[in-house]
Amino acid sequence: MASNPPHDSALATESLSERLREAARTAGFDLCGFAPAVTPPTYPRFLDWLDAGHAAGMSYLETRREAYAHPRGVLDGARSVVMLAMNYHNNSKDAGNTAPISNSNSNSTGRVARYAQIERDYHDILRQRLRSLCDWLAAERPGCVARGIVDTAPLLERDFARLAGLGWFGKNTLLINRKLGSWLFLAAIVTDLDLPADRQFAASHCGTCTRCLDACPTDAFPEPYVLDARKCIAYWTIEHRGTIPDDVKPGLGDWLFGCDICQEVCPWNRKAPQASDPAMAARSDLSHLDALELLGLDDGQFKARFRGTPLDRPRLEGLQRNAAVVLGNRGDHSALPALREGLTHPHAAVREACQWAIAQIESRTV
């Protein structure tokens, strides 16, 4: 009896999808789902967000705004998006600590977001794993085209993660998975293969909870599901280059790099499992950093300690600027000699932060 080619083709594609899921697990991803290459559902809201100025100084988002309209902005001929997620919930010593610093606290330590406490920059880890999956696809379907991306390409990853059934949007704008919470690195493979789409995650399980919004010390969420980067601690300590405005500095508290507060208070993260992947283990020397020590590092010392980690992103001058702000917020007089020495720093943003910190500390003199 003659076979039915269309039916056989559908079965073959379904089999490919299931084998791809298994290959993703083997590569180290915790979640894998498939979405059609379509205009992202929240694309109009993304444009409104840009027009409202919520992207702050991230001008690259505005420059590529039209490319986000469809995955073909990433890959011409795109038909499917393979969405992947990796759990990075590590055993940070700072877990659950959301309390603001006290002005009377005399130590000089600052906090680092969990994702930056691992040995290597997650971009490098995920790209390596994406390459192996793209190679696997090429071997399975010779002639297919697939592009793996992490963060840097114009793709609204959260939209496609929801379309692929991986989770829903929390009110803090992060994707939440029922089993893994929100401690997730997202990655994608955009391909010209027509893969069967998974069922969209249509529900939201945040209910009336507003803990993430209420806990933000800088009121960075003007409304649920909207983040204003102009008030976000992570934006100012990681993405922003140059001087930090004076009205922003106090809100940064003791955060040297990033912020986890809205995730730490989320009820869905209470039972989130620890990452089993050794690549996601926290480095003990990165959970807290000494701001005074950072202020005294030279370029060689900085590279020896932080090259290849997420903390390399703001460069030495960015971390030293943040360190000066943390010292000013802590208000410890023992930091004054180092801050005064920082007034001769070659970078204006560091000099300005040191001057501000000195004024903050001296103003508290009884």
How many contiguous H segments (helices) and E segments (strands) does the chain have?
13, 9
Please indicate whether residue 76 is annotated as part of the active site.
no
Secondary structure letter of residue 275 according to DSSP: P
Q: In degrees rounded to 5, what are phi and psi of residue 46?
A: -60, -40
- Which of 48, 51, 135, 151 is catalytic? The answer is 151
Tokens 């790209």 — which residue?
127
Q: Are 55 and 10 in contact (CB under 8 A)?
A: no
Backbone torsion region of residue 27, taken as left when φ is above 0, otherwise alpha when ψ lies between -120 and 50, otherwise beta? alpha
- Report residue 75: phi and psi, to 5°: -145, 115
What backbone torsions phi and psi does residue 318 show, to the nearest 5 degrees? -70, -45
> Would you say 90 and 280 are in contact if contact means Cβ atoms under 8 Å apart?
yes
Instruction: Report the alpha-carbon distance of residue 280 to residue 90 in Å, rounded.
Output: 7
The whole-angstrom separation of Cα 307 and Cα 316 is 10
Q: How far apart are CA 153 and CA 159, in angstroms?
A: 14
Active site amino acids:
151
